[in-house]
């Protein structure tokens, strides 16, 4: 039986749903090591208590004071944001800042489903440089098509207790429209038109546990736009070439800008 999973990491285990699968945390399936600071807008979210804090999710810098991530990544424990990170085993030279305020979408009801989006306000602004930069937010309800790039520190394999990679992973993939994505998923998949999907359907490319909240981006001469937030998918990650499912950022652009004011 295929399981749906949220792509977050807890201190002890991934979160699994009873009737739907959630993404476990881990590495991008069939990706590659990113070049150092290839994605200067990605951050690692470290949750937990005191010295036990560890990577649970990714996020995207959208201003010096604000991080965009998934709502299922912002639980009750405190969160530190690590910016300018490439190798998780080497945090020297990074900026580590605590989160002062969490804003989850008011319609998010938990688990796998729509409205899986949240904003994190930092306790002090990031210092932008060549390792720490801002990604753009798309226009409200803008249509997205073509290729995109996914980044994250997700699982390295589909084992029960897989380790997370230290080096940031990336994969070049293709956006799939709503109808094609819905047709490629099981009939009971909780997908809505508030989601966007990716998947080179013959290459077993997938997000996985630990990638939750991280960015799916499109790059152009005008800069980098974050078009998706890693949300959920089916496990084993990449199995049967199911698409990866993201929160479609353009469905929430007005909400993001209003809450950043």
Residue with tokens 């440089």, as numbered in its chain = 129
The one catalytic residue in 206, 212, 250, 251 is 212
Question: Which of these, 244, 219, 224, lies nearest to 31 by C-alpha position?
Answer: 244
Q: How many residues does the chain have?
A: 261
Active site (annotated) includes residue 149: no
Nearest-CA neighbor of 61 among 81, 80, 79, 47? 81
Q: For residue 163, what are its two tokens?
A: 């380790």
> Catalytic: which of 24, 55, 72, 231?
72
Between CA 37 and CA 1 the distance in angstroms is 39
CA torsion through residues 224, 192, 58, 164, sign: negative
Asked about 54 being catalytic, the answer comes back as no
* Contact (CB, 8 A) for 225 and 138: yes
Catalytic residue among 44, 86, 116, 198: 116
What region, left, alpha or beta, does residue 139 occupy, with left being phi > 0 and alpha being psi -120 to 50 degrees? Answer: beta
Q: Is 163 a catalytic residue?
A: no
Active site residues: 72, 116, 212
């Amino acid at each position: 039986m295929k399981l749906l999973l949220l792509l977050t990491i807890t201190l002890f285990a991934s979160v699994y749903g009873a009737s739907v699968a959630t993404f476990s945390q881990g590495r991008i399936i069939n990706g590659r090591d990113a070049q150092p600071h290839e994605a200067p807008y990605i951050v690692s979210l470290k949750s937990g208590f005191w010295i036990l804090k560890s990577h649970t999710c990714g996020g995207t810098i959208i201003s010096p004071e604000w991080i965009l991530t998934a709502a299922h990544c912002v639980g009750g424990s405190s969160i530190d944001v690590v910016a300018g990170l490439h190798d998780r085993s080497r945090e020297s030279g990074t900026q580590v800042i605590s989160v002062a305020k969490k804003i989850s979408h008011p319609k998010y009801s938990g688990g796998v489903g729509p409205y899986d989006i949240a904003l994190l306000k930092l306790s002090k602004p990031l210092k932008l440089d060549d390792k720490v930069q801002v990604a753009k937010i798309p226009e409200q309800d803008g249509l997205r098509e073509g290729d995109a790039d996914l980044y994250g520190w997700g699982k390295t394999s589909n084992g029960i207790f897989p380790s997370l990679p230290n080096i940031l992973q990336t994969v070049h993939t293709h956006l799939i429209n709503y109808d094609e994505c819905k047709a490629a998923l099981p009939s009971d998949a909780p997908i809505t038109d508030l989601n966007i999907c990716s998947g080179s359907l013959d290459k077993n490319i997938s997000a996985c546990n630990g990638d939750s909240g991280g960015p799916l981006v499109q790059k152009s001469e005008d800069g980098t736009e974050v078009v998706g937030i890693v949300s959920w998918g089916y496990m084993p990650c990449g199995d049967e070439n199911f698409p990866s499912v993201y929160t479609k950022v353009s469905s929430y652009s007005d909400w993001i800008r209003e809450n950043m004011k």
